[in-house]
A and B are shown apart, each in its own frame.
Chain A
Amino acid sequence: MKARSEPVWRFLLPSFVFVGVFSLYPILDSFRLSLYRMILTLPWLGQKFVGLENYRDLASDPVALRSFGTSLLFVAVTTPIEVLLGLGMALALNESFRGRGWLRAIVLIPWAVPTVVTSQMWRFIFNDRYGVFNYLLFGAATQRYWAPLAEPGLALMAIMIADIWKTSAFAALIILAGLQGIPGELYEAAGIDGAGAWQKFRHITWPLIRPALLLALLFRTIDALKVFDLVFVMTQGGPADSTNVLQFYGYKKSFAEGMLGYGSAIAVAVFAVSLALALFYIRLLGASVLRKERTA
């Protein structure tokens, strides 16, 4: 027994070290920093332990609270749309037709393009004078052209559209993997029993891809909560602070303003919210996966 357990540890060690150095240590260190007042540009103030003061400030910082609201709105709008679009794409790509391989590759392009490039592209698309967006909506009637990135009511929506365009394919990829795992015999059997397309979807596909759907939802939620590059390139948080998501606010505090303590408190807050959401999803997901294992 002892002889068998030893090599297991040896094989696990590298991954533990990796996770420890690159995940655990930064998280713990961020948490430690968040308990200090540390301002890079004012080194004479030193690194002073202030307990939970940064968190108290955060809870009463109207800009941070608004940013948090903006982040939540972003998550609430983009993730369901992305997962639904992803589901649609996955169902289509799971059918067999000519050129399916090509199409599968093409669908992934938006996701494979670096986000900074995507962001720059959408910035041009939404340009109020030359943007394709306006051309498609209004053609040559330039006096009616909109400036989505200049309107506090529209800028966040513009970023949402860019995010949905970019990441729906990722949701599709995960859901497609789930679809591939469903044995074809189930559909055959259902067909023999006289089930129609809707009934097959409702009673076979849907229950069996639920874990994949939840997984896609989990990934997208966490990523959307951490949205940064799109904002950085497209709006820098403006206009009127309308796209200042929490992650971007934290970045500005830490890296532009040099307020490492406060910036870390924001980072920890984002982490805590992601963790809570992840645990919630994993509970849902875990339950369904476990049930599947027991029946298998």
Chain B
Amino acid sequence: MSQILRLTIFFCLVGGVPLRAAATELRFVAWTSESAKVWAEIIADFQAAHPGVKVTQEVGPSSSTEFHDLVTQKLRNRDAQMDVFFMDVIWPAEFAAAGWALALDELFAAEEQKKFLEAPIAAARYAGRIYGVPLFVDAGMLYFRKDLLEKYRFAPPRTWPELVQQAKTILAQERDPYLTGYSAQLKQYEGLICNMMEFILSNGAALWDERSGRSALEDDRARQAVRFVRDEIVGAIAQRGVLAYQESESLALFTQGRAIFHRNWPYAWEVASDPRRSKVAGRVGVMPLPAFPGHKSAAALGGWQLAISRFSRRRELAWEFVRFMTSEATQKRIALFMGRAPARAALYHDPEILRRNPQFESQYQTFIRAVPRPRTPVYLPLANIMQRYFSSAIALKDSDIDALARSAARDMDRVLELLRDRSAP
């Protein structure tokens, strides 16, 4: 017994010594990157420029929902072991209201903010203050098979009905049982909201009314767009399996040459154009998503920011790190070697980046017009209601969209009601 005790004490001491003697440690929580090597090099460069600082990276799951669980658990526990973390563009309001993310106004100067794209900066703001520095941006885009469209003399579709017509013609003529018309992310999860939001916005409607703070799902044009997805996309030009797809499954279908049209984020370009990972490399086109006739194309804004935990004990160092990671030089490396779209506007005119990623030039228009999802601290409760509504509306052929929209709108308004009886900011 006493021997075990002595051993325990011994190991505690031995284990404790290097910890105390070590350099200043900065803890950074990120998700697994598809280009982990580039990432590690960037961090190594930061350490080289800051002798005596050691950045420890904790890698979390790449799914936004699961990463949210990890980060919020640490924040809820006021964990001082996390200094800097990745923040999805949909979280700043929640993290700001909960008092988890540090307001960066004093550090992140207004003129510096102007050097970034507007949409991600707007997404990082809540109640007049800013809580994150944009790292890279995402926006929904339409990928298509250039070769197939050319074969049938189709111009890339500008409207959704046109896309459906083209897909139907190609499917009928090709008679390929493996081919599907449209692949996207229609599983009941956050990606479903982005996809459906793009259909709804491109029909001149919205998810909610920013001014009145009420749900807008009952709006005629919003319901029309949902009905279109149910009747013309799911089970028509797309196989029903699309109802279980997230990004990776839907992209795999496209890169295997089994989908004519594909909706995804910018990173899909890098994958689809890489002959080692894609059977359709060189035969892929990308463009803004179509709209309904008479309306404008819309893209959901995605992307990630760097935020500092309010429980961090090394705020200055943390800011130093955030500034380094979002500097023009680092963002350029990320754009060049990871294919991620930078958040700084100037980089879209950088010849070196454009030579390597020519798609950024055309995608730029989509990025500056991309629409953020509702900015509110109760976004996640609203999102769960919307996910349930959209999935129920499009997964069942005879779904009563009107009744579902009514009950979803009622549920959303009840959640939004919570914001009304606020006694503090």
Which positions in A face B, CB cutoff 8 Å?
A: 39-45, 62-63, 127-129, 142-143, 145, 147, 149-152, 235-241, 244, 252, 255-259
Contact = CB atoms under 8 A, between A and B. Distances in A.
Interface in B92-117: 94, 97-99
Interface in B328-351: none
28 contacts: A40-B98, A42-B98, A42-B377, A42-B422, A43-B99, A44-B423, A63-B388, A128-B239, A128-B244, A145-B241, A147-B243, A147-B244, A150-B240, A150-B243, A237-B188, A238-B188, A238-B189, A238-B387, A239-B391, A239-B395, A240-B188, A240-B391, A241-B392, A256-B65, A256-B384, A257-B381, A257-B384, A258-B72
A147 B240 contact: yes
Given A238-B387, A257-B380, 20 more contacts: A39-B418, A40-B72, A41-B97, A41-B380, A42-B98, A42-B418, A43-B99, A44-B422, A128-B239, A128-B244, A143-B177, A151-B240, A238-B395, A255-B73, A256-B380, A256-B384, A257-B381, A257-B384, A258-B380, A259-B381
A238 B424 CA distance: 36
A244 B385 CA distance: 13
Interface string B383-425: 0100110011001100100000001000000000011011111
Contacts of A257: 378, 380-381, 384
B395 to A, nearest CB: 4
A259 B418 CA distance: 12
B262 interface: no
Interface in B133-167: none
A129 B65 CA distance: 25
Contacts of B94: 41, 258
A239 B244 contact: yes
A256 B69 contact: yes
A30 to B, nearest CB: 16
A240 B387 CA distance: 9
Is the contact region of chain B dominated by helix, strand, or loop, or is it mixed? Answer: helix
A129 B76 CA distance: 41
B69 A255 contact: yes
B74 interface: no
B84 interface: no
A240 B240 contact: no
Nearest to B418: A42
Given A42-B419, A45-B418, A240-B396, A235 B244 contact: yes
A35 B73 CA distance: 22
B392 A129 contact: no
Contacts of B65: 236, 256
Interface in B262-279: none
A236 B187 contact: yes
Q: Which of B242, B249, B258, B381 has the most CB of A within 10 A?
A: B381
B387 A142 contact: no
A51 B420 CA distance: 22
A44 B425 contact: yes
Nearest to A244: B388
B68 interface: yes
Contacts of A39: 418
A255 B396 CA distance: 29
A87 to B, nearest CB: 34
Interface string B206-249: 00000000000000000000000000000000011111100001
A43 B395 contact: no
B286 interface: no
A149 B177 CA distance: 20
A128 B387 CA distance: 22
B241 A150 contact: yes
B253 interface: yes
Nearest to A39: B418
A151 B188 CA distance: 12
Q: Which 3 A-B pairs have the closest CB atoms?
A: A238-B188, A128-B241, A44-B424
A150 B242 contact: yes
A128 B392 CA distance: 20
A150 B150 CA distance: 32
B187 A238 contact: yes
Contacts of A44: 422-425
A231 to B, nearest CB: 11
B384 A252 contact: yes
Contacts of B187: 235-236, 238-239
A149 B424 contact: no
A127 B243 CA distance: 11
Contacts of A236: 65, 187-189
